[in-house]
Chains A and B, each alone.
Chain A
Amino acid sequence: MRRRSPAIAAAVLAFAAGPALAKKAPDWVVRAGATKIAPELTAGKPAPDALVLWRQQIVTAGGATGSTRLYRREAIKILTPAGTEAGTFFSDYDDDSKVVVEGAWTVKPDGDSEELDLKSVVSVQQAHAEFFTDNYVVAFRPPRLSPGDIAAHALWRKARKDVYQWIVPLQDALPVAAQEVAFDLPDGWTHAWRLTSAPDGYTGPLSGEGASKASYLFPAQRAMPEEAASPPASDRFARMELVILPPAGKFPELVYKSWKDVGAWFYRKSLPARSEAAADLVPASSGDPAAASARWTQDKVRYVAVEVGEGGYVPREPALVARRLYGDCKDKVFLMMALLRQKKIEALPVLTRSRDDGMIDPAFPSPVQFNHVIVAVRAASPTGLPSEVLLPDGPWILFDPTSAWTPWGQLPEGLQGARGLVVRADGSELIDFPYASSDVNRYVRTVDAELAPDGRLTARIVNASEGSQSQRGWYQNQTPEERKESALRFAEGWVPGSRATDLALGNLDDASKPLDARFTVTSDGYLRKSGSLLVLPVLPFAVGPGRIPRLEDRRVPIDLGCPRKRELTVKWTLPAGMKVDAVPDAVSADNAYIAYRFSAAIENGQLVATETYEIKKPVIPPSDLAVWKTVEAASAKASGARAVLAR
């Protein structure tokens, strides 16, 4: 499926600022300059670098052609030197869609204005040999922007021909002072709309319908910048989902009233790929034939995407994919389905999108919500596997053959808790994907730490990881030398000035077992000596949570991914003649979302420190941020925990 804009745009910006033509800015830009700015819009911490004075988005449709356009006018006030970046527009389009820039202007504080020479609008194809797509990034910046100026542009976009819907964000990483969303459709047409959440100051209904002409004005919106552990932009911003409704009988193929309609669209698109593959691809295996086919597709078919025109949505024939041994997600899925068909196992494609790209809105049936395909494989009976879902006709196992090392029966982290559309010839349905439990997404670190009389540390570390915590893919993407270097960097990161040796990886190629990474870290002078006092930081290589800054101003949930558990046990062996004089106090924090625990004790004559960090519910709403603060405080105390030793 299509992927949206990797940030190639940045690379073209250097070219995007072009020469100016001395022309007057349109009236709407001049009017935008007079927009009243509510003080709270610029009061954020940190203060915004720019502010959207006016944004207007107008949806149109051609009565005869059915093609739809989204016109956009935007005027941005540049507040700081860094804010000139906000005046740079970039967007993507492909062979099937279009972006046409009508103009861009800079208005100086004295009212003088300049127009961008449109020859300097730059576009770059987002393609290389392994990700070949007809997507282009278009970029431009109004001329000679500096603080105090207004940067404005007017453009329109044409939608892909299969889609008669638009999603427009009402919030932004910048504050928005005023905005309008409007429909300008042919007479006799109607529209529907829906808000994914209420934007600031909006108290009206969250959905509605209207006639061919309509205007929706929204009050000022505070900035919603990206923060640590924040949900993706599409979940962070309130959005308006727009549906164009032609008169009855006109362009019926462009109207999606239900998820069944969307499923039927993809079913039609995928018909050519529902053909056979060579019969001898997957070697006979004594194991589960579904798991063997899954592993073969994961392992043998390289991810290489060629997404041009229909190639963005239409999977290729399995025989071609098997010959090339490369393909994108949908190619892999349809090849795997062909392999399973040979074994009389039923499988269905499942359209989806990673949580990292935002959750699919179940109330807005539309192909635009998907950018990925996985497969559902029928199970004869319940299996108890983490990725099993119960559909009306029984249990099915979800599997993503594009994720190279996710074991059969599990989902990669970004798909756990996501949604997907199970596509059938009829009766497609949107389902919730399960999260694996924290016992599956697990990371266990054990450290045998030995202290020499001179304070030198020798720590033998074993990291066992599985589920979403698995380090298998990470190690598999490295050469042996790089793996050694990453162990060295790990050691340096946790114990500055240390070294790591003897890296050994267990179960590296066996995705069904936890990955074991073992190595030894040594460091001179780990034991801190202050006069006769010997101070031992008891928790090297901690597994607790990192800090999240600016919690006081936070307006969005904390998104911690999926349920998982991280455990650490450090067993200290002290040199002869050295004993523990005092151990640090235990700390813990336990709530509905997270359980955190640290303790240190003498067990069988040995100092043992343990730390456990479990995410039970991964999304903490802004109303419950206090619970995170208690966890952070406990973890901070633990990471500073010291034992006092004596000779």
Chain B
Amino acid sequence: MCRADATRSRLIRLGRRAAAFAGALALSAPLFAAKWKDPSPAEKAIVEDPAKGWVGAVYLEKTFQSENQMWRVTVRAKILSKSGFDVGTVEGIATNAQGVEGRTVSPSGKVTELASKDIRKVTAVKAGGRSVEHLVFTMPALEPGCFVEYTYKEWGWLGSASDFHVEVLFQDNYPILRQEVTTPKRFPFSSSIRRQRGVTIAFREEGSGYVYESTDAPALHEEPYGLPKNERAAAVIFAYVIPGIQSASSESFWADATKKGLAPILQEYLVKPSKVEKALKSIPGSRTADPKARLKAIYDYSQKTVKNRWALRAGETEPKGGWKKNEDAADTLSHGQGSPWDIATVCASLLRADGWKFRVVFTPDREERFFHPEIPSMFQFGGWVIEVKDPGLDGPVYLCFDHPLMAYGQMPWNRLGVASYAIDLEAETGEQVEIPQLPPEKNTRRRQWAVTLAEDGNVRVDRVSRLDGAQAFDARIDLYGNGKDSFEKRLRETYEKFDPPGEVESVAFQNEESPEENFVQTTKFRRNGLGATLPGGRLELAPLTMIGETNPFTQEKRDEPIIFPYPYLNEDTLTITAPEGYVPDALPPPIEQRGIVGRYGVRAARGEGNSVVVTRILALTRFSGSPEFYAEYRKLFEAAARGDAGLSIVFQPAAGAAKASAAR
């Protein structure tokens, strides 16, 4: 999937500028004198209990305290079995951390201190005369039933990872029985709480600080088609308060951030109409009266005139001397190359010069995180697109420049179906919007299979696949970025691994660089031994095993929402021709599984001559759902996996058929 990180990097620049106004550093904090807490009787009584989610280890207590621009971390954990030893492995501590100490208390109470010589410095990367280093250690004398405790202090309000947007997670790979984060009241960050899976983060004022506390937070674990990692854990999200931008409430923040941050920074990159007027006039089709044609002409011009430096063709390299830096849309036009951000600013400048009304929509990268308007942080976006609304158009049109093969009006799935933020640059106002997903009927894969079965069970297939929408885009960017040779090589390797192995004879493509058309792939291959000889001389073929849908939802229960990239519709029509002298036996009954998240259906019918036509549909109509929908998703994909594996077409010798029918 193409990524769009330009927005974040540009916003960081904005933040850095603002951060220059931040106050002077406070005096260094006194070293934290570690005071270990001996295990309580209740803690000693904790044992592994899968019913409670206590497996491997539990964090008894995690505390984080921000004080005088230092971040103190203290962790206490109990190891319940060997699979929890990794809680005693600590990495990623800043090399200038202070007071790194730890100890292990055995089940019998024997204490083994973490020796300072066992705290090691790791060089993560060394390049260009610079090194990135951090500290690591592993706790000594670990055994099931032991307690580990460690503490350290890092520089920074929120530790060494202090940034403009810091998420302190309240969930981890093991349950956390208690976690507390304390910050001073005078603190250059706003805070927001993200609740998850019933974890409550309580907030209170205590003396000169604010305290965030949670208890009994369950462990996190990966689930197929789950949320992106930044959305999975309950967290307190700290956003740097940029001087001059209010953050008393999310409403006032977004109003102010739009007026003083987002809109001005974009305006900096757009250029006056006079600077693009000449280019505008030169665009073929941009002077027509038809609004749709006119808009498309400007979009196509922007896409084709400016080389997208983030989406290089297979084997393509950056120019000699490197890419040129673009300060604004005029630079981008004159250099003829730029990032998706740069290309979008060219298109926006042209649209403005041509008199279009449009908005800029900041979208998150759904693979990384979602946009939460209640969080006063501008660092939630992965990029921006242009929204054009005009009476002459059929609804809003979104113009996206992530990839040169992005069709007019098309968006990559990772920016769709979740909240985004639209800005009117002229009015300097914004609002939350959601750019909807395309329906399944617009993300289709339709395949025609001509399957020839030989008497020895060998199968030859000519298959024509037509893809549109997101499915076509995925295929196009793969070919574009990796090249046809690589695509074909991978295809051959994949087929070789099938059981029985497949041999690809040829692959051909159509419209691979015509994003407005269906992407067409024609594949010819053999699968020797796919058909089986049954006792009695019949031939059996399970044709849908060639599709081989797998069920990703094998787990019994689901904790998190399900989220697919996009809804889709896959239709397969297989025309199976029997070998000479064979005729179809009675056909299997149809299969139909229809639910609220999708549909799977298979039907077999007699075709021309001695052929059988099998039609199969798998439609995912609902691309996301809460855990309550899990049973439905599971049922759908189980039915598809079972149906594909179990559908059997049997052919019998024609003479036998004649005899059988005579006997009847």
Contacts and interface: CB of A to CB of B under 8 A. Distances in A.
A530 interface: yes
B483 A81 contact: yes
A528 B588 contact: yes
B587 A530 contact: yes
B535 A530 contact: no
A533 B91 contact: no
B496 A584 contact: no
Contact of A479 (B55, B118, B317): B55
Which of A125, A129, A637, A644 neighbours the largest number of chain B CB atoms within 10 Å of its CB? A129
A642 B540 contact: yes
Nearest to B499: A547
Contacts of B142: 302, 325-326
B140 A636 contact: no
Interface residues of B, number: 81
Interface in B605-664: 638-650
Interface in B317-376: 317-318, 320, 322
Contacts of A526: 646
Nearest to A148: B315
Contact of A129 (B56, B138, B489, B640): B138
B532 A642 contact: yes
The dominant DSSP class at the A interface is: mixed
Contacts of A492: 550-551, 554, 641
B486 A547 contact: no
A36 interface: no
Contacts of B83: 477-479
Interface in A210-267: none
Given A119-B129, A530-B585, A497 B639 contact: yes
B565 interface: no
B85 interface: yes
A145 interface: yes
Contacts of A40: none
Contact of B140 (A84, A323, A496): A323
Nearest to A324: B140
Given A124-B123, A526-B646, A533-B650, A549 B501 contact: yes
B147 interface: no
B586 A136 contact: no
Interface in A111-137: 114, 119-125, 127-130, 132, 136
Interface in A517-561: 523-526, 528-533, 535, 546-547, 549-550
A91 to B, nearest CB: 14
Given A119-B128, A132-B120, A478-B83, A495 B586 contact: no
A578 interface: no
Contact of B588 (A81, A123, A530): A530
Nearest to A640: B532
A128 B586 contact: no
Contacts of A489: 554
Interface stretch (A172-180, A386-394, A480-488, A622-630): A480-488
A636 B126 contact: no
B22 interface: no
B454 interface: no
B124 interface: yes
Contacts of B549: 496
Contact of B556 (A122, A144, A484, A495): A484
Contacts of A335: none
A146 B585 contact: no
Interface string B72-89: 000000000011010001
A583 interface: yes
Interface in B565-599: 585-589
Interface in A293-309: 300, 302, 304, 306
B127 A146 contact: no
Contact of B648 (A479, A528, A582): A528
Contacts of B499: 546-547, 639
Contacts of B316: 146
A122 B125 contact: yes
Interface in B535-556: 535-536, 538, 540, 542, 548-551, 554-556
Contacts of A289: none
Contacts of B322: 19
B535 A497 contact: no
Interface string A400-435: 000000000000000000000000000000000000
A479 B56 contact: yes
A369 interface: no
Q: Which of A304, A496, A531, A641 counts the most chain B CB atoms within 10 A?
A: A496
A81 B536 contact: no
Contact of B535 (A302, A525, A549, A581): A581
B648 A535 contact: yes
Nearest to B645: A496
A127 B497 contact: no
Contact of A80 (B118, B486, B535, B648): B486
Contacts of A476: 82
B486 A129 contact: no
Given A124-B123, A581-B535, A642-B532, A531 B587 contact: yes
A204 interface: no
A580 to B, nearest CB: 10
B444 to A, nearest CB: 24
A147 interface: yes
Given A81-B315, A644-B536, A529 B588 contact: yes
A129 B90 contact: yes
B1 interface: no
Given A325-B142, A549-B497, 14 more contacts: A20-B320, A120-B128, A123-B123, A124-B124, A129-B90, A304-B138, A323-B140, A325-B143, A478-B83, A497-B638, A528-B540, A528-B646, A531-B586, A533-B650
Interface of A: 12, 15, 19-20, 22, 46, 80-82, 84, 114, 119-125, 127-130, 132, 136, 143-147, 300, 302, 304, 306, 323-326, 476-481, 484-485, 488-489, 491-492, 495-499, 523-526, 528-533, 535, 546-547, 549-550, 581-584, 636-637, 639-644
Closest 9 CB pairs of A and B: A531-B586, A497-B642, A582-B535, A496-B641, A81-B314, A549-B496, A81-B315, A528-B648, A488-B554
30 contacts: A15-B125, A15-B127, A80-B485, A82-B482, A82-B483, A82-B489, A120-B127, A123-B125, A123-B127, A127-B122, A130-B89, A145-B317, A302-B85, A323-B112, A325-B143, A477-B83, A484-B556, A485-B555, A491-B554, A492-B550, A492-B641, A528-B646, A530-B649, A531-B585, A547-B497, A547-B499, A549-B496, A549-B501, A581-B535, A636-B529
